[in-house]
Amino acid sequence: MSVQRIARTATVIASVAYLFSLVPGFRAGPDTSTVWDVGVYAAVPLLAAVSCFARGLRGRRDRAAWLSIGAGLTSYAAGTLVFNAVLLPAGDPPYPSVADGLWLALYPCTIIAVGILVRTRMSRGFGAAIWLDSLVAGLGLASLFASFVFPSLADGTTSSDAEIVVNFAYPVLDLALVITAVGAVTMLGAWRDRTWLLLGAGFLAYAFADSWYLVQLADETYRPGSLVDFGYLAAATLVALAGRDRSDEAPEAARFEPQSPSFAVPGAFALLAIGVLTAHTHPGGMAVAVVLAVGALTAAWIRTALTVREVVALSDSRRQARTDALTGLPNRRAFYEVLEVAEKRPAGTAPFVASIVLADLDRFQEINNAVGHQLGDQLLCKVSQRFAALVPGGGMIARLGGDEFALFVPGLRAAQAAELSRTLLGALDDPFWIKDLSLHLTASIGITELGAGTQISHALAKADLAMYRAKAAHTGCEIYDDGRDGDAWDRLSIGEDLREALYGGQGLTVEFQPICQLPELTPTGVEALVRWTHPVRGRVRPDQFLPLAEKAGLMSAVTRTVLDQSLDEARRLRDRGWELSVSVNLSASDLLDDNLLQIVELALAERDLPGRALRIEITESLLVDSGAGAVERLFQLRALGVDLAVDDYGTGYSCLAYLHDLPVSYLKVDRSFVNRMLEDERTALIVASTIEMAHGLGLRVVAEGLETPEQQEWLSAHGCDLVQGFLLSKPVPPDQLYPWLAERARAVSSTIPVYP
């Protein structure tokens, strides 16, 4: 059990025990009272201080705050000991005394601590409304407090300036503590947070106990060992309980967002201030209470005025955020909002039909470059005016951006929307005059029908596809048709699903196909082949989604996923005793990525793998087309110890220069040659000469697509180094790769396949 938990538990036990000691007849004599009123009474705040110190020392974030509270409680406990054990037994204790100074030190320590706690828990700065809310709450409650406490002080008599200062120091500091506690909880919106409720309750308990004590002191009814004394112990106990370390439940203390504008808190405490003003309290007490109540109402009035101004500004900001600044039309956000409302029509309503019309001006960029952006903007404004004048009632036209406009027309079928589109195109027939310059414009329009259950994002994408078909065919407008646009839509849909799979961390996996050395077929490596299982489509072929990934700028993410999974497998294979290289294919975008070298180097280092554990495969067309930057990256990869292989040799440029000039170690003969070499003499000659040439350049040859023993025998006879294909194994997941490797090791009487 931690020190904090022991101290906190002891605080609760001692406080409850003191409460039971107040039962009449419990205390047998003066000695017993000394134990309770001196020993236990000082022990409770001291134990609470130990709990707060332990809480502060356990974590760095709130250390200063809890140490400050612990210091305040320690000072309070010291004041209690000085007063009860030293001053009181000596006779009539002086007032004020050293004990008062020690007791009063509690307040600045706790107020400072609350400020620190609030500051560390706000995720962003305090707005004026938040400050005013906390001020209204604190002043409102303080006015109620003052209306009860200050009358009693006004009735008392004082004989020295020191007494006057101390008499008013207690209630003033209590007021500050009340304002701080209530204001902090209001500022954070932490009305349901247990820690803050206990902390605030503890501070309010100190203020309440002080008030009760001062009232009894003025009425000469205070007696040591009464419930008012227990009030101080209850306050210390609540503070100790608030300091419970919840690191096991949440690794980091909660952070609070400033609350949305609300009149609930300031309104409630403003009503409390009004009640204080209208109540019949002691005239002497009204002076302070009225000032505080008026302050609360003033802050509430300012808060109301500020909120009204914020609402007006918010309304104007919302209008501007939904309006295109150039044309004055609704913008993309406003258009989407209207579509979302239409999409969320309640079930059971009348069948919903609407059309989306997407218009894009032809050659506008060319015109814009010729006349300048300022005149281009004027042209867009004139186009928007002509279009807006033709929108039927209930419809909406918006500028989505650039030279693209969109119309939403409820109740219109696609064929009717096509008639409207032709009207829009006709509005462009008349020339536009811009500073004595006559300009003619045309546009391309795509249309899609938005029926019940149609997703907005899909509808817009379909209208976009139809618009591009109209632009390509120069037909003016086209309606989306699954028969003609379905393939394009399918590719777009696959691309978006791939993006979600990549960044959602689901769907992409890697299978491995063994690469073996001839003639014994000893495993020396595996090639990593990416696989994607779509949740609806099932397995999608790599030749379907990889080109889409390249076009959509997702290839880097695909490569990183494959690289991470491949090297993870290389690490597991190495741990099992198989030191096999893993081949990974790179694309054109990978070779142009400036971060490629850093990514590979970090991936190898994280898994404690040597460079030779990875083999990079690049098609020959990429080697020819990628440029000097890609060539430099290949040399940098080779410097890491990574082997480089030319993939699909013979299907591209077949330029021999790069084989001589680049740090290539392997040449992979494409499967199309391996499949035909036994039936076609010319193909066999090409494969044989490729093997001879590669060996002459110091390269090793890998034959892909091995399917028959006859192909294996021919390749072995002609000196081919390595093979891979279905004759050995199809690509398999890791759990099937391990048994295959074990079986091959037994077949070739080898226990540990090694790097070639």
Q: Is residue 589 assigned to a domain?
A: yes
Closest CA relative to residue 705, chosen from 685, 731, 680, 681: 731
Which SS3 state, helix, strand or coil, does residue 722 take?
Answer: strand
pLDDT at 200: 80
Backbone phi and psi for residue 396, each to the nearest 5 degrees, phi listed first? -145, 135
pLDDT tops 60 at residue 238: yes
90 DSSP assignment? T
Answer yes or no: is 650 within a domain.
Answer: yes
Assess whether 474 and 545 both reside in one domain: no
CB of 259 closer than 8 Å to CB of 192: no
Summarised one tens digit per residue, pLDDT across range 173-186 is 776 776 677 666 66
Q: How confident is the model at residue 504 (pLDDT cuts 50, 70, 90)?
A: low
Q: Are residues 188 and 259 in the same domain?
A: yes
Produce one character per residue of 532-541: b if its CB has 16 or more CB atoms within 10 Å, e if not.
beeeeeeebe
Boundary of a domain, candidates 270, 305, 340: 305
* 475 & 512 share domain: no
Contact criterion met (CB below 8 Å) for 567 and 603: yes
The region of weakest confidence among 113-117, 132-136, 396-400, 708-712 is 132-136
Q: How many helices (H) and strands (E) does the chain have?
A: 29, 16
pTM of the model: 0.46
Residue 688's pLDDT is 94
Tokens of 598: 């850093």
The answer to whether residues 367 and 382 touch, using CB atoms and an 8 Å cutoff, is no
Is 337 domain-assigned? yes
Same domain, 587 and 474: no
475 and 508 housed in the same domain: no
Residues 261 and 142 in one domain: yes
The per-residue pLDDT for 137 is: 65
Domain boundary (480, 507, 522) is at 480
One-letter amino acid of 533: T
Greater pLDDT, 164 or 423: 423
Q: Is there a single domain that holds both residue 300 and residue 418?
A: no
The pLDDT tens digits of the residues spanning 532-544 come to 887 777 888 888 7
For the segment 669-691, the average pLDDT, to the nearest whole number, is 92
pLDDT at 61 over 80: no
Are 462 and 520 in the same domain? Answer: no
pLDDT band of 138, cuts 50, 70, 90: low
Let me know whether 452 and 561 are in one domain: no
Model confidence band, residue 605 (pLDDT cutoffs 50, 70, 90): very high
pLDDT in tens, 220-236: 777 777 788 888 899 89
CATH number at residue 641: 3.20.20.450
Stretch 467-488: mean pLDDT:
80
- Between the two ends of the chain, the Cα-to-Cα distance in Å is 59
What pLDDT score was predicted for residue 58? 76
Give the residue with greater pLDDT, 115 vs 479: 479
Is residue 284 within 8 Å of 150, Cβ to Cβ?
Answer: yes
- Confirm whether 313 is domain-assigned: no
Tell whether the model's pLDDT for residue 639 goes beyond 70. yes
Residue 570: pLDDT above 80?
yes
Q: Which residue has the higher pLDDT, 270 or 756?
A: 270
Q: What is the rounded distance in angstroms from the CA atom of residue 554 to the CA atom of residue 499? A: 7
Give yes or no: residues 376 and 522 share one domain: no
341-350, 553-562, 609-618: lowest mean pLDDT where?
A: 341-350
Are the C-beta atoms of 417 and 363 separated by less than 8 Å?
A: no
352 lies in a domain?
yes
> pLDDT, tens digit, for every residue of 299-353?
677 766 766 676 666 666 666 678 888 888 988 888 888 887 776 665 445 556 8
Amino acid at 604: L
Q: Which two tokens stand for residue 78?
A: 């010291």
Q: Are 671 and 705 in contact (CB under 8 A)?
A: yes
CB 30 within 8 A of CB 61: no
- What contacts 173, CB < 8 A, 6 or more positions away? 104, 107, 108
Q: Is residue 315 part of a domain?
A: no
Residue 670, both tokens = 């494409």
Q: What tokens appear for 656 in the block? A: 């021999």
Q: Is 322 a member of any domain?
A: no
Looking at the fold, whether 453 and 564 belong to one and the same domain comes out as no
Q: What is the DSSP letter of 159?
A: S
Q: What is the mean pLDDT of residues 380-396?
A: 90
Same domain? For 661 and 726 the reply is yes
- Tell me which residue range forms the domain holding 349: 332-480
In a domain, 325, yes or no: no
Is residue 420 within 8 Å of 357, Cβ to Cβ? Answer: yes
3-class state of residue 363 by DSSP: coil
> What is the DSSP annotation of 641-655?
T-EEEEEEETSS---
* Domain endpoint, select from 431, 455, 480: 480
pLDDT score of 324: 86
Q: Report the number of distinct structural domains present in the chain.
A: 3
Rounded to the nearest 5°, which phi and psi values hold at 38?
-110, -60
- Rounded Cα distance between 433 and 439, Å, is 6
pLDDT band, residue 721 (cuts 50/70/90): very high
Contacts of 459-467 with CB under 8 Å at 24 or more apart are: 459/339, 459/356, 460/339, 460/356, 460/358, 460/406, 461/489, 461/492, 462/489, 463/356, 463/357, 463/358, 463/406, 464/358, 465/489, 465/492, 466/358, 467/358, 467/359, 467/360
pLDDT, position 621: 67
Specify the CATH number for the domain of residue 434: 3.30.70.270
Q: What percent of the chain has pLDDT over 90?
A: 24
Q: What does the pLDDT look like over 339-375, one tens digit per residue?
A: 877 766 654 455 568 889 999 998 888 888 888 888 8
Cis peptide leading into residue 151 (ω within 30°): no
- Model confidence at 148, pLDDT cuts 50, 70, 90, reads low
Going by pLDDT thresholds of 50, 70 and 90, the confidence category of residue 425 is very high
